[in-house]
Amino acid sequence: MWVSFAPESRLIIDFVLGPRKQYLADALIEATDKHLSDSKPFFVTDGLKLYIEALLKKYGKLVEFPKTGKRGRPKKPAIVPDENLRYAQVIKNRKEGKLNKVEKRVIFGQDINESEISTSLLERQNLTLRQDNNRVSRKTIGFSKKLKGLYYQMRLYCTHSNFCREHEGLTKEDEKGVKYKMTPSQECGITGKKWTLTDLLNYRPLKTSTEL
Protein backbone atom coordinates (compact mmCIF):
# COMPACT_ATOMS: atom_id res chain seq x y z
CA MET A 1 0.00 0.00 0.00
CA TRP A 2 1.38 3.40 -1.06
CA VAL A 3 0.21 6.34 1.07
CA SER A 4 0.34 10.10 0.53
CA PHE A 5 0.24 11.88 3.89
CA ALA A 6 0.26 15.49 5.13
CA PRO A 7 2.15 15.39 8.46
CA GLU A 8 1.13 18.85 9.71
CA SER A 9 -2.58 18.00 9.61
CA ARG A 10 -2.31 14.17 9.85
CA LEU A 11 -4.46 14.01 6.70
CA ILE A 12 -4.25 10.88 4.55
CA ILE A 13 -4.33 12.54 1.13
CA ASP A 14 -4.69 9.42 -1.01
CA PHE A 15 -3.35 5.92 -1.56
CA VAL A 16 -2.80 3.27 -4.21
CA LEU A 17 -2.50 -0.49 -3.88
CA GLY A 18 0.03 -2.78 -5.49
CA PRO A 19 3.69 -3.78 -5.75
CA ARG A 20 6.73 -1.51 -5.86
CA LYS A 21 6.56 -0.67 -9.55
CA GLN A 22 7.09 2.60 -11.42
CA TYR A 23 3.52 2.82 -12.68
CA LEU A 24 2.21 2.80 -9.11
CA ALA A 25 4.66 5.50 -8.00
CA ASP A 26 3.36 7.54 -10.94
CA ALA A 27 -0.24 6.82 -9.91
CA LEU A 28 0.37 7.97 -6.33
CA ILE A 29 1.88 11.28 -7.46
CA GLU A 30 -0.99 11.81 -9.90
CA ALA A 31 -3.58 11.03 -7.21
CA THR A 32 -1.86 13.36 -4.75
CA ASP A 33 -1.65 16.22 -7.24
CA LYS A 34 -5.42 16.19 -7.75
CA HIS A 35 -5.90 17.19 -4.11
CA LEU A 36 -3.32 19.99 -4.06
CA SER A 37 -3.70 23.73 -4.46
CA ASP A 38 -1.61 25.67 -6.97
CA SER A 39 1.47 25.65 -4.74
CA LYS A 40 3.63 22.53 -4.62
CA PRO A 41 4.26 20.97 -1.20
CA PHE A 42 7.58 19.77 0.14
CA PHE A 43 7.79 16.07 -0.75
CA VAL A 44 9.64 13.67 1.55
CA THR A 45 9.88 9.90 0.97
CA ASP A 46 12.07 6.96 1.80
CA GLY A 47 14.98 6.09 -0.47
CA LEU A 48 12.93 4.36 -3.17
CA LYS A 49 14.21 5.72 -6.49
CA LEU A 50 10.86 5.28 -8.24
CA TYR A 51 9.62 8.51 -6.65
CA ILE A 52 12.28 10.58 -8.42
CA GLU A 53 11.08 9.55 -11.87
CA ALA A 54 7.43 9.91 -10.85
CA LEU A 55 7.96 13.49 -9.64
CA LEU A 56 9.92 14.39 -12.77
CA LYS A 57 7.15 13.01 -14.97
CA LYS A 58 4.57 15.15 -13.19
CA TYR A 59 6.50 18.31 -12.36
CA GLY A 60 9.43 18.24 -14.78
CA LYS A 61 9.89 20.02 -18.08
CA LEU A 62 11.72 18.99 -21.23
CA VAL A 63 14.81 21.08 -21.99
CA GLU A 64 16.49 20.96 -25.38
CA PHE A 65 20.12 22.02 -25.50
CA PRO A 66 21.34 24.29 -28.33
CA LYS A 67 23.75 22.98 -30.91
CA THR A 68 27.36 23.88 -30.23
CA GLY A 69 28.65 23.49 -33.78
CA LYS A 70 31.28 21.06 -32.59
CA ARG A 71 31.81 17.58 -33.91
CA GLY A 72 30.04 14.67 -32.31
CA ARG A 73 26.53 13.86 -31.29
CA PRO A 74 24.43 16.73 -29.93
CA LYS A 75 23.36 16.60 -26.30
CA LYS A 76 20.04 14.83 -25.89
CA PRO A 77 17.03 16.68 -24.47
CA ALA A 78 16.56 16.11 -20.75
CA ILE A 79 13.73 16.43 -18.23
CA VAL A 80 14.62 18.86 -15.44
CA PRO A 81 12.58 19.52 -12.28
CA ASP A 82 10.39 22.58 -11.94
CA GLU A 83 12.19 25.34 -10.03
CA ASN A 84 9.53 25.23 -7.31
CA LEU A 85 9.76 21.47 -6.78
CA ARG A 86 11.25 20.57 -3.38
CA TYR A 87 11.94 16.93 -2.63
CA ALA A 88 14.13 15.03 -0.17
CA GLN A 89 14.64 11.44 0.92
CA VAL A 90 15.24 9.72 4.24
CA ILE A 91 17.51 6.77 3.51
CA LYS A 92 17.88 4.12 6.20
CA ASN A 93 20.90 1.86 5.90
CA ARG A 94 20.78 -1.46 7.71
CA LYS A 95 23.51 -3.89 8.66
CA GLU A 96 22.67 -7.46 9.62
CA GLY A 97 19.02 -6.49 9.93
CA LYS A 98 19.67 -3.60 12.32
CA LEU A 99 19.47 0.12 11.59
CA ASN A 100 23.03 1.32 11.07
CA LYS A 101 22.72 4.83 9.63
CA VAL A 102 20.05 7.36 8.63
CA GLU A 103 20.91 9.70 5.76
CA LYS A 104 18.87 12.75 4.76
CA ARG A 105 19.36 13.66 1.11
CA VAL A 106 17.98 16.67 -0.81
CA ILE A 107 17.05 15.59 -4.35
CA PHE A 108 15.35 18.68 -5.78
CA GLY A 109 15.10 22.24 -4.50
CA GLN A 110 17.02 24.66 -2.35
CA ASP A 111 16.79 26.23 1.11
CA ILE A 112 15.73 22.95 2.71
CA ASN A 113 16.70 22.54 6.35
CA GLU A 114 17.68 19.10 7.54
CA SER A 115 15.13 19.39 10.37
CA GLU A 116 12.36 19.54 7.74
CA ILE A 117 13.34 16.17 6.28
CA SER A 118 11.46 13.50 8.20
CA THR A 119 9.17 10.55 7.59
CA SER A 120 8.56 9.72 11.26
CA LEU A 121 4.90 10.81 11.32
CA LEU A 122 4.17 8.88 8.13
CA GLU A 123 5.86 5.80 9.58
CA ARG A 124 3.74 6.15 12.72
CA GLN A 125 0.62 6.46 10.57
CA ASN A 126 1.58 3.32 8.66
CA LEU A 127 2.04 1.46 11.96
CA THR A 128 -1.38 2.61 13.15
CA LEU A 129 -2.90 1.52 9.85
CA ARG A 130 -1.43 -1.97 10.18
CA GLN A 131 -2.51 -2.26 13.80
CA ASP A 132 -6.07 -1.24 12.93
CA ASN A 133 -6.43 -3.40 9.81
CA ASN A 134 -5.77 -7.12 9.86
CA ARG A 135 -5.88 -7.12 6.05
CA VAL A 136 -2.55 -5.28 5.83
CA SER A 137 -0.84 -6.65 8.95
CA ARG A 138 2.42 -8.49 8.39
CA LYS A 139 2.24 -12.31 8.39
CA THR A 140 -1.54 -12.33 8.69
CA ILE A 141 -4.10 -14.93 7.69
CA GLY A 142 -6.71 -12.18 7.35
CA PHE A 143 -5.43 -10.86 4.02
CA SER A 144 -7.87 -9.81 1.31
CA LYS A 145 -8.67 -12.40 -1.31
CA LYS A 146 -9.52 -9.71 -3.87
CA LEU A 147 -7.86 -6.35 -4.50
CA LYS A 148 -11.25 -4.67 -4.94
CA GLY A 149 -12.33 -5.64 -1.43
CA LEU A 150 -9.08 -4.34 0.03
CA TYR A 151 -9.45 -1.05 -1.84
CA TYR A 152 -12.96 -0.36 -0.52
CA GLN A 153 -11.98 -1.29 3.03
CA MET A 154 -8.91 0.98 2.92
CA ARG A 155 -10.93 3.82 1.39
CA LEU A 156 -13.43 3.62 4.25
CA TYR A 157 -10.65 3.44 6.83
CA CYS A 158 -8.76 6.45 5.45
CA THR A 159 -11.94 8.52 5.16
CA HIS A 160 -12.92 7.64 8.73
CA SER A 161 -9.41 8.57 9.91
CA ASN A 162 -9.62 11.95 8.19
CA PHE A 163 -13.14 12.95 9.23
CA CYS A 164 -14.10 10.99 12.36
CA ARG A 165 -10.91 10.29 14.27
CA GLU A 166 -9.38 12.83 16.62
CA HIS A 167 -5.59 12.83 16.81
CA GLU A 168 -3.41 13.41 19.84
CA GLY A 169 -1.05 15.49 17.71
CA LEU A 170 -3.90 17.87 16.84
CA THR A 171 -4.64 18.91 20.42
CA LYS A 172 -5.63 22.58 20.74
CA GLU A 173 -6.54 24.92 23.58
CA ASP A 174 -9.51 27.29 23.63
CA GLU A 175 -9.72 30.77 25.17
CA LYS A 176 -10.53 29.30 28.58
CA GLY A 177 -7.52 27.01 28.49
CA VAL A 178 -9.59 23.89 27.88
CA LYS A 179 -7.82 21.39 25.64
CA TYR A 180 -9.60 19.63 22.82
CA LYS A 181 -8.61 17.40 19.92
CA MET A 182 -9.36 17.86 16.24
CA THR A 183 -9.69 15.61 13.23
CA PRO A 184 -7.41 16.07 10.18
CA SER A 185 -10.32 17.44 8.15
CA GLN A 186 -10.97 20.07 10.82
CA GLU A 187 -7.29 21.02 10.89
CA CYS A 188 -7.35 21.49 7.10
CA GLY A 189 -10.57 23.50 7.19
CA ILE A 190 -12.48 20.90 5.18
CA THR A 191 -15.10 20.46 7.91
CA GLY A 192 -16.10 22.53 10.90
CA LYS A 193 -16.71 19.66 13.28
CA LYS A 194 -15.83 16.07 14.02
CA TRP A 195 -18.01 13.77 11.96
CA THR A 196 -19.75 10.75 13.41
CA LEU A 197 -19.80 7.49 11.48
CA THR A 198 -23.47 8.24 10.73
CA ASP A 199 -22.48 11.61 9.24
CA LEU A 200 -19.91 9.89 7.06
CA LEU A 201 -22.19 7.12 5.81
CA ASN A 202 -25.07 9.52 5.11
CA TYR A 203 -22.95 12.08 3.25
CA ARG A 204 -23.93 12.46 -0.39
CA PRO A 205 -20.89 13.50 -2.44
CA LEU A 206 -21.32 15.82 -5.38
CA LYS A 207 -20.84 14.37 -8.82
CA THR A 208 -17.92 15.96 -10.66
CA SER A 209 -16.67 15.58 -14.19
CA THR A 210 -13.66 13.33 -14.67
CA GLU A 211 -12.88 14.82 -18.07
CA LEU A 212 -9.81 17.00 -18.43
Per-residue pLDDT tens digits for 133-188: 877 777 777 777 788 888 999 999 999 999 999 999 999 998 889 999 999 999 99
Compute the Cα dihedral for 106, 109, 114, 115 and give only its sign: negative
3: β partners = 15
Question: For the chain, what's the residue count?
Answer: 212
The residue ranges of the chain whose pLDDT is under 70 are: 69, 207-212
Domain-by-domain residue ranges, the chain?
Answer: 2-202
Contact between 10 and 169 under an 8 Å Cβ cutoff? The reply is yes
pLDDT at residue 210 in the model: 52
pLDDT at residue 49 in the model: 93
CA distance 202 to 15: 23
CA distance 21 to 158: 23
pLDDT at residue 212 in the model: 38
Name the CA radius of gyration of the chain, rounded: 21
Task: Count other Cβ atoms within 10 Å, centred on residue 195.
Answer: 20
CA distance 190 to 199: 14
Task: Count other Cβ atoms within 10 Å, centred on residue 100.
Answer: 10
pLDDT at residue 184 in the model: 95
Contact between 66 and 44 under an 8 Å Cβ cutoff? The reply is no
pTM of the model: 0.83
Single-letter residue type at 103 = E
CA distance 188 to 167: 13
CA distance 85 to 59: 7
pLDDT at residue 67 in the model: 75
Contact between 26 and 202 under an 8 Å Cβ cutoff? The reply is no
Task: Count other Cβ atoms within 10 Å, centred on residue 89.
Answer: 20
